[in-house]
């Protein structure tokens, strides 16, 4: 009984925190500096652990409501993530679309934009791209993205597959480190960017001196 009321209290606290954050994102002008993201993050982790231990029958509606709130917050956060990455993206080139179940590691150097499609574990590219690590957009491509796909900004597809053979080894996120997990971890993110910068320097001889000018970002498909 004691545990139940404790759980309920925490749930109520959490729902109000979620609504608060939703309101902040909605309002745009709200006091975002004081949004305690690390507290919320901690609370979410503790909370999911509680539910793994016990899922009370009488709280079904509340749990569904919580799931729905979180879904909405997640949709907003995904939008915000996309915007953060798109901010540096090409003016003359269109913003590329990240593959679902994967992402794009993108680097811009000297007004040329390079994006390397990557797939999550359990997915493989729809087309063979072993000799095609990245796509690019700049003056030399007439400001359109090189791509194997018809229809503009989609650079690659990641389709469900037990084996990953269509791309080079580095074009797959490591096991237990999908695109979203990678960008949630600064070390893992810069590892992927470093790998791509090395590949780029090898393929495009003229950029190796300009590496310091590189602006980078990883865009995940939802
Ligand atoms: C955009 O395109 C114009 C015309 O083609 C060109 O003069 C300009 O340098 C380009 N800007 C960038 C940032 O690439
Ligand atoms: C972050 O990424 C690094 C490098 O891939 C990894 O060693 C570390 O365990 C990750 N940290 C977390 C909290 O997942």
Q: What does the block give as tokens for 188?
A: 């893992």
Q: Which residue, judged by its Cα, is nearest atom 8 of ligand 1?
A: 92
Q: How far, in Å, is the centroid of ligand 1 from the Cα of 212?
A: 22
Alpha-carbon Rg for the chain, nearest whole angstrom, is 21
Q: What pLDDT digit, counting tens, does each position of 53-86 carry?
A: 666 777 778 888 888 998 998 988 888 888 877 7
Q: What does the block give as tokens for 80?
A: 């915000």
- Can you point out the beta strands (E) in 134-197? 135-137, 158-160
pTM confidence score: 0.77
For 67, the enclosing helix (H) or strand (E) is: helix 60-86
Q: Which residue, judged by its Cα, is nearest atom 11 of ligand 1?
A: 92
Q: What pLDDT digit, counting tens, does each position of 82-117 carry?
A: 887 777 776 788 889 999 999 999 998 888 899 999
Q: What does the block give as tokens for 90?
A: 């090409």
Ligand at minimal distance from the CA of 92 is 1
Task: Determine which of 23-27, 73-77, 106-110, 183-187 has the lowest per-residue pLDDT on average.
Answer: 23-27
Q: Which residue, judged by its Cα, is nearest atom 2 of ligand 2?
A: 188
Q: What is the mean pLDDT of residues 21-32?
A: 53
Burial profile 99-127: b = 16 or more Cβ within 10 angstroms, e = fewer: bbbbbbbbbbbeebbbbbbbbbeebbbbe
Ligand at minimal distance from the CA of 194 is 2
Number of Cα atoms under 13 Å in the Cβ half of residue 92? 14
Q: Is 140 in the pocket of ligand 1 (CB under 6 A)?
A: no
Q: Which residue, judged by its Cα, is nearest atom 1 of ligand 1?
A: 92
User: Distance (Å, rounded) from C-alpha 35 to C-alpha 26?
Assistant: 13
Residue 191 has pLDDT above 70, yes or no: yes
Q: What pLDDT digit, counting tens, does each position of 141-181 carry?
A: 999 898 888 767 889 999 999 999 999 999 999 999 999 99
Is the four-CA dihedral 88, 40, 190, 133 of positive or negative sign? negative
Ligand at minimal distance from the CA of 140 is 1
User: Distance (Å, rounded) from C-alpha 37 to C-alpha 32?
Assistant: 10
Tell me the best of 185, 193, 195 to mutate to test the pocket of ligand 2, counting ligand atoms within 8 Å of each CB and taking the most.
185
């Amino acid at each position: 009984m004691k545990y139940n009321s404790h759980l309920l209290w925490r749930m109520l606290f959490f729902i109000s925190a979620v609504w608060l954050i939703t309101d902040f994102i909605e309002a745009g002008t709200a006091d975002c500096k004081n949004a305690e993201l690390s507290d919320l993050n901690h609370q979410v982790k503790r909370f999911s652990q509680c539910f793994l231990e016990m899922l009370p029958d009488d709280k079904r509606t509340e749990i569904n409501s919580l799931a729905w709130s979180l879904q909405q917050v997640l949709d907003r956060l995904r939008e915000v993530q996309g915007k953060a990455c798109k901010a540096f993206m090409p003016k003359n080139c269109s913003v590329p679309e990240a593959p679902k179940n994967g992402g794009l590691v993108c680097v811009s150097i000297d007004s040329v934009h390079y994006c390397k499609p990557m797939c999550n574990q359990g997915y493989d590219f729809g087309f063979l791209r072993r000799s095609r690590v990245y796509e690019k957009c700049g003056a030399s491509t007439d400001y359109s993205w090189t791509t194997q796909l018809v229809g503009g900004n989609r650079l690659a597809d990641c389709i469900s597959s037990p084996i990953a053979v269509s791309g080079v080894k580095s074009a797959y996120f490591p096991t237990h480190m999908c695109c979203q997990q990678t960008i949630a971890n600064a070390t893992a993110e810069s590892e992927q960017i470093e790998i791509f910068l090395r590949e780029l320097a090898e393929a495009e001889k003229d950029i190796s001196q300009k590496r310091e000018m590189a602006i980078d970002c990883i865009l995940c498909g939802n």
